Amino acid sequence: SQASDNMRILTGALLLAVLGTGLAQQLQQPDPCEHRHRVVGDITYCDRYWECVSGTPQNYDCPNGLVFVGRNRGIAEGCDYPWRGAYCDNKQLANPPLSTEHCDWLYGIFGHETSCTRYWTCWNGTATEQFCIGGLLYNEETHACDWPSNVRGCQKHPLCTEDPDANVPLGSSCERYWACQGGYPRLQRCPATLVFDKQSRRCIAPPTQDCEAPTTTEAPLGEGTGFRGESAPRPQPRPRTRPQPRPTQSRIQQQPQQQRPTKIAPQSSPERPFVPAGAIPVRFNDPEPQGGFAPQQQGGFSP
């Protein structure tokens, strides 16, 4: 009959369409053995790539938490932090996060549970605590130390909560003090020959109650600096852009698929609130970001 003929044509067309789509998708995946670099990214998953091994395409997954960015690029095996580019736009993740203590993924940079001035760098699930220096705070959106005005939830520094525009003594130092400006602290040094007077909170000519004359020796930091008794950490050496040791054999063969994460970058949440701790190592230079990442903007402070 006419109706069943129509139905047969329609079914045939649908079948062709489905087959065609499947073929097109398969054909789109480039063969790494025909590629100059012998490595190509997967067309569906941003954390997966294909490599030509003995003339045969093999697929590999990036270290957990990283996405494929290209041969000889990224921090490990051609893979890099996902927030450094739009690598996962229009692609999915093949693997769910593998979490360890402090690390949402085995590799990445993550916010501290209780401090705005600290963060964790994770390499293969091992967390290393890092500190933002010079009054910078960790910005979970850029995964870098940043000006406090750019860090949501950590706007004002605890040093300056009492008075957002006051000078604050720095421990028992006679020359150094914090100058709060709009709630953001800057480390200052009194001009030569002057000492910081805790009563008037200004640099004045000695002697004061605590200070005879400017000395070159300083009381150890972290004692009596007025916030939480935390010792000020020493600035860390700048990490190399390519963290060491570079894993030589961390290729993870494709794992059976589990539940997929919906987002790769952890955001602050009620379970992970930011509470300023306020430990700042002393430094006289303008604040420099750590971790090798520049702050997005430098608009927060007026010098």
Ligand X SMILES: *[C@@H]1O[C@H](CO)[C@@H](O)[C@H](O)[C@H]1NC(C)=O
Q: Where along the sequence are the contacts to ligand X (CB under 6 A)?
A: 124-125, 247, 250
The nearest distance, CB 98 to ligand X, in angstroms, is 10
What's the min distance (Å) between Cβ of 106 and ligand X? Answer: 7
Least distance from C-beta 18 to ligand X, angstroms?
41
CB neighbour burial string for 247-268, b if at least 16 within 10 angstroms, e if fewer: eeebebeeeeeeeeeeebbbee
Q: Which is nearer to ligand X, 124 or 172 (CB)?
A: 124
Return the exposure string of 130-165: e unless at least 16 CB atoms fall within 10 Å of the residue's CB, then b.
bbbbbbbbbbbebbbbbbbbbbeebbbbbbbeeeee
Q: Which is nearer to ligand X, 171 or 243 (CB)?
A: 243
Whichever of 234 and 242 has its CB closer to ligand X, that residue is 242
CB of 240 to ligand X, least distance (A): 17
Cβ proximity to ligand X, 152 vs 242, nearer residue: 242
Residue 205 near residue 191 (C-beta atoms within 8 A) = no
**Helix (H) or strand (E) segment spanning residue 19:** helix 2-28
Q: Provide CB contacts within 8 A for 196, sequence distance 6+.
A: 167, 169, 170, 173, 174, 175, 176, 177, 190, 202, 203, 211
Report the residue number, 239 or 247, with the smaller CB distance to ligand X. Answer: 247
Q: How far is the CB of 243 from ligand X (least distance, A)?
A: 11
